[in-house]
Amino acid sequence: MSLPARIVTLLVAFAAVVAGAVFIVVHYLGSSLAVVNYSPEASGGVVNVVMQEDPQNSVSSRPDWVSYFVQDPKTKAWVHTTLFQVPANTRVNMTILGYDGCTPLRNNFFSKVQGTIGGGMTVQQFKTVGKPLGAPRRYSVLNSWSNCSVGHTFAIPSLHVYVPMASPNTALFNSSACGASPCTSGPHSVMKFSFMTPKTTGTFRWQCFVPCGGGFLDGNGGPMQTLGFMMGNMEVSA
Amino acid sequence: MAESQAPAAPGAPEKAGPNHGMRIFLIWIVLALVADLLIWFLWYPHLPPGRMTESARHQQFDIAVLGLAAAPVMLFVWTYFGYTLINWRHRDGDDDDGPPLFGHTGIQASWIAGTAVIVLAAFVFGTVELIVPDGAGAGEGPNPVWKPSGSNVLQVQVIGQQWQFTYRYPQFGGMESTQLLLPLNRPVAFHVTSLDVIHSFWAYQLGVKADANPGVDNVAYTTTRQLGGFTVRCSELCGIWHGAMFDSGQVVTPTTFLAWATRTQSIERRQGVLAALPPYALSYDPTVIPQLGQQVVKVAGITGANGYYYPPSDPVAP
**How far does the CA of residue A8 sit from the closest CA of chain B (Å)?**
36
C-beta atoms of B162 and A220 within 8 A: yes
C-beta atoms of A107 and B166 within 8 A: yes
Place B294 in a pLDDT band, splitting at 50, 70 and 90: low
- Average pLDDT of the residues in B135-144: 92
Contacting residues of A for B310, CB less than 8 Å apart: 211, 214-217
Please give the DSSP secondary-structure letter assigned to residue B206.
Answer: G
Q: Given B179, B239, B301, which is nearest A220 (Cβ)?
A: B239
Question: ipTM score of the complex?
Answer: 0.84
pLDDT recorded at residue B35? 97
pLDDT recorded at residue B227? 97
CB B268 within 8 A of CB A108: no
Cβ-based neighbours of B229, under 8 Å, separated by 6 or more: B205, B248, B249, B250, B251
Least confident of B19-28, B160-169, B279-288: B279-288
Question: Which residues lie across from B295 on neighbouring strands?
Answer: B288
Q: Average per-residue pLDDT in chain B?
A: 87
Residue range B24-52, pLDDT digits in tens: 999 999 999 999 999 999 999 999 999 99
Contacting residues of A for B166, CB less than 8 Å apart: 107, 109
Neighbours of B146 (CB within 10 A): 14
Looking at the predicted structure, is the pLDDT value of residue B113 above 70? yes
pLDDT recorded at residue B315? 40
- Average pLDDT of the residues in B120-146: 93
Place B229 in a pLDDT band, splitting at 50, 70 and 90: very high
pLDDT recorded at residue B226? 96
pLDDT recorded at residue B27? 97
pLDDT recorded at residue B312? 42
Place B296 in a pLDDT band, splitting at 50, 70 and 90: low
Least confident of A151-155, B9-13, B22-26, B68-72: B9-13
**How far does the CA of residue A183 sit from the closest CA of chain B (Å)?**
14
pLDDT recorded at residue B3? 44
pLDDT recorded at residue B293? 57
A53: closest chain B residue by CA: B305
- Average pLDDT of the residues in B176-182: 96
Domains (range + CATH), chain B: 19-87 (no CATH), 154-300 (2.60.40.420)
pLDDT recorded at residue B309? 44
Looking at the predicted structure, is the pLDDT value of residue B1 above 50? no
**3 state SS of A64:** coil
- Average pLDDT of the residues in B46-70: 95
CB A233 within 8 A of CB A82: yes
Low-confidence residues of chain A: pLDDT under 70: 28-31, 212-219
Contacting residues of B for A55, CB less than 8 Å apart: 304-305
Neighbours of A168 (CB within 10 A): 31
Q: Given A107, A112, A146, which is nearest B159 (Cβ)?
A: A107
In a mutational test of the A interface, the residue from B179, B310, B313 whose CB has the highest number of chain A CBs within 10 Å is B310
DSSP code per residue over chain B: -PPP-PPPPTTPPPPP---HHHHHHHHHHHHHHHHHHHIIIIIGGG-TT-SSBHHHHHHHHHHHHHHHHHHHHHHHHHHHHHHHHHHSS--TT--PPPPP----HHHHHHHHHHHHHHHHHHHHHHHHHHHTTTSTTB---SS-SS---SS-PEEEEEEEETTEEEEEEGGGTTEEESSEEEETT-EEEEEEEESSS-EEEEEGGGTEEEEE-BT--EEEEEEB-S-EEEEEEE-S--STTGGG-EEEEEEE-HHHHHHHHHHHHHHHHHHTHHHHSPPP-SS--TTEEGGGTEEGGGSTT--STT-SPPPTTSSPP-
pLDDT recorded at residue B304? 34
- Average pLDDT of the residues in B116-120: 93
Who wins on pLDDT, B286 or A228?
A228
C-beta atoms of A106 and B292 within 8 A: no
Looking at the predicted structure, is the pLDDT value of residue B297 above 90? no
Contacting residues of B for A106, CB less than 8 Å apart: 161, 195-196, 286, 309
Looking at the predicted structure, is the pLDDT value of residue B180 above 50? yes
Place B313 in a pLDDT band, splitting at 50, 70 and 90: very low
Task: Determine phi and psi for A111, rounding to 5 degrees.
Answer: -70, -20
Residue range B235-261, pLDDT digits in tens: 999 888 899 999 999 999 999 999 999
